[in-house]
């Protein structure tokens, strides 16, 4: 009986170690991707996406111009991060020509590093237009570290360019 119990424990340990190695390998693959078109390495967040075929911020701005509240379109774009939630990286604002898009992450499933403001990243997901309430705008302003005076100036709902991302690529620093 002891031999059977020891054999069972040994089998469980071997199996768990093997699945842990597979998990670590998959995580490492998701964390670093190299573009087939260049030598740029990326750190990946969320679902694994590829860096190719991303539109620029001006093409995304044109896409948003054609959207009405309730419309959405799947898109991958490349642009500069203007701001990141300084609480835990749960959202970011990205440059879209003369405007900014509020980017959130699918199912609240991943977060951005807090220090990527000013970096150009690749984002894939769904672009849409929505109206953001005063309370939600104030919440985001608070997360961004704005002053009480700036937050108090928010008094009306705002039509915003929104984006739910399923994956983000950030170029690794050399």
Question: pLDDT per residue over 120-155, tens digit each?
Answer: 999 999 999 988 899 999 998 998 889 999 999 999
pLDDT averaged over every residue in the chain: 82
Beta bridge pairs of residue 105:
165
Output the pTM of the full model. 0.68
Residue 40: what pLDDT?
81
What is the pLDDT, as a whole number, of residue 33?
44
When pLDDT is cut at 50, 70 and 90, the band that residue 160 belongs to is confident
Write out pLDDT tens, residues 69-126. 889 999 999 999 999 999 999 999 999 988 999 999 999 999 999 999 999 999 999 9
Query: Would you list the DSSP string of 20-71?
Result: HHHHHHHHHHHHEEE-SSSS-EEEEEES---STT-B-HHHHHHHHHT--TT-
Contacts made by residues 61-68, CB under 8 angstroms, sequence distance 24+: 61/96, 61/97, 61/98, 61/99, 63/127, 64/96, 64/99, 64/101, 64/127, 64/129, 64/161, 67/127, 67/128, 67/129, 68/129
Are the C-beta atoms of 140 and 102 separated by less than 8 Å? yes
Residue 38 has pLDDT above 80, yes or no: no
Q: How far is it, in rounded angstroms, from Cα 14 to Cα 130?
A: 51
pLDDT tens digits, 50-76: 999 999 999 999 999 989 888 999 999
Whole-number pLDDT of residue 174: 66
3-state secondary structure of 104: strand
């Amino acid at each position: 009986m002891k031999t059977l119990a020891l054999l069972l424990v040994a089998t469980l340990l071997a199996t768990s170690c093997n699945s842990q190695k597979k998990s670590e390998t998959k995580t490492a693959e998701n964390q670093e991707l190299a573009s087939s078109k260049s030598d740029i390495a990326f750190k990946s967040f969320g679902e694994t996406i590829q860096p190719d075929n991303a539109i620029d911020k001006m093409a995304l701005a044109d896409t948003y111009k054609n959207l009405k509240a309730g419309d959405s379109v799947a898109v991958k774009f490349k642009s500069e991060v203007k701001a990141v939630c300084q609480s835990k990286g749960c959202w970011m604002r990205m440059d879209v020509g003369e405007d900014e898009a509020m980017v959130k992450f699918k199912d609240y499933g991943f977060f951005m590093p807090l220090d990527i403001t000013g970096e150009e990243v690749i984002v894939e997901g769904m672009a849409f237009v929505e109206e953001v309430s005063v309370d939600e705008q104030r919440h985001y302003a608070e997360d961004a570290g704005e002053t009480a005076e700036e937050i108090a100036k928010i008094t009306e709902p705002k039509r915003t360019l929104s984006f739910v991302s399923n994956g983000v690529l950030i170029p690794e620093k050399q």
